[in-house]
Homo-oligomer: A and B are copies of this chain.
Amino acid sequence: MHKVGIVGASGYTGAELIRVLARHPRVSLEVITSRQYAGKPLGDCYPGLAHLDLVFEGNEDESVFSRADLFFTALPHKAAMDAAAGILAKGKKVIDLSADFRLSDPAVYEAHYGPHAHRELLKEAVYGLCEVNGKLVRQARLVANPGCYPTSVLLPLIPLLKAGLIDSGGIIIDAKSGVSGAGRGATETTHFCEADESVKAYKVASHRHTPEIEEQLGIAANREVRVVFTPHLMPMKRGMLATIYCTPTGAAGRKAVEEAWRDFYSASPFIGIAGGDVLPDTAHVAGTNRCIMAVREEKRCNRLIIISVIDNLAKGASTQAVQNMNLMMGWEETLGLPMEPVFP
């Protein structure tokens, strides 16, 4: 069993990591840390995990970084960069779930998040979108686990841009997320009575996932890409659906798009292509590491409408992180990862 640890394990992505790592056949979860819960048993933070008999350690003492071979850093951005650097300095591997290593250009990072204390690592970090960058991930010691919105958008669009089937201009992304994306912090926005029976947009034309999406689409298109990105909050815990409007180049329609996806993802067990009448539903991927995508044509307006679904905490965060671990360790990509949704 290989030893792994989670730095910053008291949030929702931490809980989801623990759920999957606890059953993973090749790892042993040796260390969990939390500033808030240091010294307390895991059950104080997550009563449903009390039987695991784990105890939080503090975030400050870097000696814990010696106790495992690979760490997941699930800290807020800015805090994550230092932890990652400290872990790498001990010769260990890091999968960072924050935004700290997702943007390759320090100037872009700093425009959105403020000063970066480890600019040298930005170049080294591999963007861990497993189905696209799998080969790089296998060689990496620092993986930047993608954001949830970017994951839902990039997986359907990258193959189409690479195949030249869609225009890189004029892409509009209307995305819908469950409330868990806002984290475990108690705020007015996350109050049950404010979020239940409520749908709203937020951070319109200003969400920090926009540059992340644009960088990766730009790499795929081999040119600068600008997108309109509108996130919405839905009255549900988990789940993310992206509705993407784009313009086909030439006469590319549903058939061509589905073929491009099938080609690109022929060796990717976590990608589902909804080829029949049923459209993707966030419930189809709840609790799994899967992404399901579909396309429809609006010929009258010369647009393609692409829909993709993921579980924002799983494929959009923690299970994709475990998928990255599987790749980094040279294991089978699917090891220990849930494929079948918890439904209903």
Binding site for B on A (CB under 8 A): 12, 15, 18-19, 22-23, 43, 46-52, 170, 172, 174, 176, 178-180, 184, 186-188, 190-202, 204-205, 226-228, 230, 232, 234-239, 241, 243, 245, 269, 272, 274, 276, 278-288, 290, 292, 296-298, 300-301, 303, 305, 307, 309, 313, 338-344
Contacts and interface: CB of A to CB of B under 8 A. Distances in A.
A241 B340 contact: no
Contact of A227 (B22, B192, B301, B339): B301
B237 A174 contact: no
Contacts of A276: 43
Given A197-B283, A199-B241, A282-B198, A340 B176 contact: no
A232 B226 CA distance: 25
A84 B170 CA distance: 45
Given A50-B272, A174-B243, A281-B199, A238 B344 contact: yes
Contacts of A301: 170, 226-228
A174 B243 CA distance: 8
A285 B48 contact: yes
Nearest to A206: B296
